[in-house]
């Protein structure tokens, strides 16, 4: 048993069409210790969901292709195994909660059957009665009474549906859970309920988690380690405290400044100027340079090295790379 549940090395994912190639994920590396929660943060098009799909090996191909990279799940390289073996791993070892609970469930099947499906798939030979019992236990665990086992998704509210999706994802006690914007579609009070529940379940079952979100508040609430993504790259990586208290990358700083603070008054928000670059036509050099207030000539060409500004705190920005060399 290795110490890290997940190790990702230099992952590159590209979507190729006849007209263009979309560089969705461009060489990201990270690792996740057991029982920890990694927050993957970024805006639309930063490559968060593509990264998650790559970890599940669910990138639609064509047009998607994992060009390069190694993904070690519990020490096992999942890039080289067959699709049949991967199917055994999905749901049992690694599982996913999808963003939109309204579309993640099958509208014509009772929710109980949908949970049972996972249980039966991964426990061949389990009797139907036993699978039913297990599914009911899962429902109770996410706070839905087992009496609603036979009800259909449309009879549940958004928050309840998300609980069902979580129950399905956790049905076989996976070691790694990927949650893709699990609370984005929910109201704040319901979001608080769901986050609270996920935290409790994670502690109980000892699951490791990757939480994908664009909400920095949710990150502060739930994560141990944070990776900030921009244009398919991890631009900053560190512990929650490092990212929130001692953020270094201009994009991370801009992202935090864009959110109105509840405790202090500012007349105008400090917006990041410009737009996310088009992933089919990424700028040369640092991907953030057209929007960066500290951009220099050197930023516009060449690869940006990753600098370790303090133990475990990685920043992909030239400002710090140079400082690192001087020291």
Partner 1 sequence: MSALLEARHLKKYFSTAKGTLHAVDDVTFSLDAGKTLGVVGESGCGKSTLGRVLIHLLKPTGGQIFFEGEDITNLKKAELKKNRVNMQMIFQDPFSSINPRMTISSIIGEPLRVHKIYKSKEDYRHAVEELMDTVGLAKRLENVYPHELDGGRRQRVGIARALALNPKFIVCDEPVSALDVSIQAQVLNLMQDLQEARGLSYMFITHDLSVVRHISDEICVMYLGTVVEKAEAKTLFTSHRHPYTHALLSAIPQPKVKKDTQRIILKGELTSPINPGPGCRFAPRCIHATKECFERAPELQEVEPNHFLACHHPE
- Residues near 145 by Cβ (< 8 Å), separated by ≥ 6? 139
Q: Which of these segments, 124-132, 134-142, 217-225, 279-287, binds partner 1 (CB under 8 A)?
A: 217-225
- Give, in order, the Cα–Cα distances in Å from 158 to each of 39, 82, 96, 182: 23, 36, 18, 11
- Site for partner 1 contains 215 (CB under 8 A): yes
Q: Which of these segments, 101-109, 201-209, 253-261, 292-300, binds partner 1 (CB under 8 A)?
A: 253-261
- Site for partner 1 contains 321 (CB under 8 A): no
**Whole-number Å distance between alpha carbons of 303 and 296:** 14
244: enclosing H helix or E strand: helix 240-245
Q: 326, 327, 303: which is closest to 317 by C-alpha?
A: 303
Candidate residues 83, 245, 297, 326; the one interacting with partner 1 per rule CB under 8 A: 245
For partner 1, the closer CB: 261 or 284: 261
- Site for partner 1 contains 217 (CB under 8 A): yes
- Site for partner 1 contains 192 (CB under 8 A): yes
- Residues near 288 by Cβ (< 8 Å), separated by ≥ 6? 230, 231, 235, 249, 250, 251
Q: Which of these segments, 19-27, 116-124, 162-170, 188-196, binds partner 1 (CB under 8 A)?
A: 188-196
Q: Which of these segments, 20-28, 131-139, 241-249, 305-313, binds partner 1 (CB under 8 A)?
A: 241-249
Q: Give the pairing of strands 76-77 and 64-73.
A: antiparallel
Q: 193, 192, 196: which is closest to 204 by C-alpha?
A: 196
- Site for partner 1 contains 310 (CB under 8 A): no
- Site for partner 1 contains 218 (CB under 8 A): yes
**Whole-number Å distance between alpha carbons of 238 and 228:** 9
Beta carbon of residue 291, minimum distance to partner 1 (angstroms, whole number): 8
Candidate residues 16, 43, 113, 224; the one interacting with partner 1 per rule CB under 8 A: 43
**Whole-number Å distance between alpha carbons of 180 and 312:** 24
What the block records as the tokens of 53 is: 């799909």
Residues 59/40, Cβ–Cβ less than 8 Å: no
For partner 1, the closer CB: 116 or 160: 160
What the block records as the tokens of 322 is: 């140079």
- Site for partner 1 contains 269 (CB under 8 A): yes
Which residues 109-138 are close enough to bind partner 1 by CB under 8 A? none
Query: Which spans of this chain sit near partner 1 (rule: CB under 8 A)?
Result: 43-44, 157-160, 187-193, 195-196, 214-221, 240-241, 244-245, 254-262, 265-273, 275-276
């Amino acid at each position: 048993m290795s110490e890290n549940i997940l190790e990702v090395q230099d992952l590159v994912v590209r979507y190729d069409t006849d007209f263009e190639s979309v560089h969705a994920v461009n060489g990201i590396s990270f690792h996740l210790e057991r029982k920890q929660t990694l927050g993957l943060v970024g805006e639309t098009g930063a490559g968060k969901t593509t990264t998650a799909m790559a970890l599940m090996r669910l990138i639609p191909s064509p047009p998607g292709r994992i060009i390069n990279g190694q993904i070690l799940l519990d020490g096992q390289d999942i890039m080289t195994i067959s699709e049949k073996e991967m199917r055994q791993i999905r749901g049992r070892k690694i599982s996913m909660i999808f963003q939109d609970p309204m579309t993640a469930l099958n509208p014509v099947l009772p929710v109980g059957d949908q949970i049972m499906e996972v249980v039966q798939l991964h426990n061949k030979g389990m009797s139907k009665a036993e699978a039913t019992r297990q599914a009911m236990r899962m429902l109770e665990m996410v706070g839905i009474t087992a009496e609603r086992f036979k009800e259909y998704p449309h009879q549940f509210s958004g928050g309840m549906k998300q609980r069902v999706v979580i129950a399905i994802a956790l049905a076989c006690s996976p070691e790694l859970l990927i949650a893709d914007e699990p609370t984005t579609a929910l109201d704040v009070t319901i979001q608080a309920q769901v986050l609270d529940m996920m935290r409790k379940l994670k502690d109980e079952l000892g699951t490791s988690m990757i939480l994908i979100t664009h909400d920095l508040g949710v990150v502060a609430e739930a994560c141990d380690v944070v990776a900030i993504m921009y244009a398919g790259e991890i631009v900053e990586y560190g512990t929650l405290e490092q990212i929130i208290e001692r953020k270094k990358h201009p994009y991370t700083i801009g992202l935090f400044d864009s959110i109105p603070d509840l405790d202090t008054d500012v007349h105008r928000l400090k917006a990041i100027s410009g737009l996310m670059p088009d992933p089919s036509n990424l700028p040369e050099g640092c991907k953030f340079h057209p929007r960066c207030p500290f951009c220099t000539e050197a930023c516009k060409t060449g690869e940006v090295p990753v600098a370790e500004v303090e133990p475990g705190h990685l920043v992909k920005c030239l400002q710090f790379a140079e400082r690192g060399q001087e020291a």
